Structure 1
């Protein structure tokens, strides 16, 4: 599991580093040499989509996601157990049901490509499929841990 986490973080870091380099090239070409490079705009957008979706799917832990926990913190432990199980079953179930349609759409986008680089849109939006798969896995794991009595603490989120 550690190897997979490290690999996901390395890929995410590599994507972000590539995005940063493309951005620096873009700024340098545009403002330093007054010769904008059309491919850098497109590459930056594609890399941004990948960085955000990849990080949300594989790197950002659940505790770092935005939550509305006012009711959670006020509820007794038994109610939190129900909230955690039902909420994750609903979200994970909806994501699981949506995976085939998500894949169909992403696969359908194979026929269209980006205007400058010619990258098929399937490859641009493929990380969304990973995000959906990760959402199902995270929700299943949350139900499992809730049934074991873990992750039910009331926390004060200050950030």
Structure 2
């Protein structure tokens, strides 16, 4: 069972890492597009009107693709005023509850996003901006990111259920879980 969970954890980790790489590429593309647009507007007096619309779509991709890896690394925003005052058992229970909440949000993004994409595609809705993009294309980022987020939360719950440290317990970004292994005290 532990081996199967290890494979699942590594697969989710790899998928989250690839998505984060794509997110980084989108961030660099956004930077390049905005820089190009600013240069054209202020130095050559030739504004590029479609850049704002495209960068808006890229921003959605940046967020939706990077959220799962941030969750796996324990880097999501958290209010720890209460949990730092609780014992380790209650803090872990609250973290598990948080993982369940994130799983539900990811599942809602997946379900609602797929419905929105299907509806938009059925009606043939296009953006009203300069690009006139079929809106189902950028909208696909929502269910994809929701699925990644739900998988990452499920992976965190599986780790916790097996008694392994979560990303937060492992020290956040520096102790990000990369694969299921035996805890030190069980070796």
Deviation at 1:62, TM superposition (A): 3.8
Q: Which structure 2 residue ranges, 5 or more long, are not aligned?
A: 1-9, 173-187
* Change in CA separation of 1:98 and 1:30 when aligned onto 2, cut-off 3 Å: closer
Select the residue among 82, 94, 104 that pairs with 2:93.
82
Residues 96 and 157 of structure 2 are in contact (CA less than 8 Å); yes or no, is this contact kept in structure 1? yes
Q: Encode CA deviations 1:15-35: one digit per residue, 9 max, x unaligned.
A: 122111211111011101111
Q: Pick 1 or 2: higher relative contact order, CA cutoff 8 A, min separation 6.
A: 2
Aligned residue in 2 for 1:128: 142
Residues 109 and 121 of structure 1 are in contact (CA less than 8 Å); yes or no, is this contact kept in structure 2? yes
**Aligned partners of 2:141, 2:69: CA distance in 1, in Å?**
10
Residues 26 and 62 of structure 2 are in contact (CA less than 8 Å); yes or no, is this contact kept in structure 1? yes
* Change in CA separation of 1:8 and 1:101 when aligned onto 2, cut-off 3 Å: closer
Q: Which structure 1 residue ranges, 5 or more long, are not aligned?
A: none
Aligned residue in 2 for 1:113: 126
Q: 2:48 matched to 1:37?
A: yes
**Aligned partners of 2:71, 2:32: CA distance in 1, in Å?**
23
- Number of corresponding residues: 156
**TM-score, normalised on structure 2?**
0.70
Q: Encode CA deviations 1:1-23: one digit per residue, 9 max, x unaligned.
A: 47545533432222122111211
Deviation at 1:90, TM superposition (A): 3.5
Select the residue among 76, 79, 95 that pairs with 1:68.
79
Residues 113 and 140 of structure 2 are in contact (CA less than 8 Å); yes or no, is this contact kept in structure 1? no
Aligned residue in 2 for 1:49: 60
Deviation at 1:58, TM superposition (A): 4.2
**Aligned partners of 2:78, 2:148: CA distance in 1, in Å?**
18
Which of the pair is proportionally richer in helix?
1
* Change in CA separation of 1:120 and 1:57 when aligned onto 2, cut-off 3 Å: farther
Deviation at 1:91, TM superposition (A): 3.4
Aligned residue in 1 for 2:102: 91
Aligned residue in 2 for 1:28: 39
RMSD between aligned residues: 2.7
**Aligned partners of 1:145, 1:12: CA distance in 2, in Å?**
26
**TM-score, normalised on structure 1?**
0.81
Deviation at 1:107, TM superposition (A): 2.7
SS in 1 for 2:130: coil
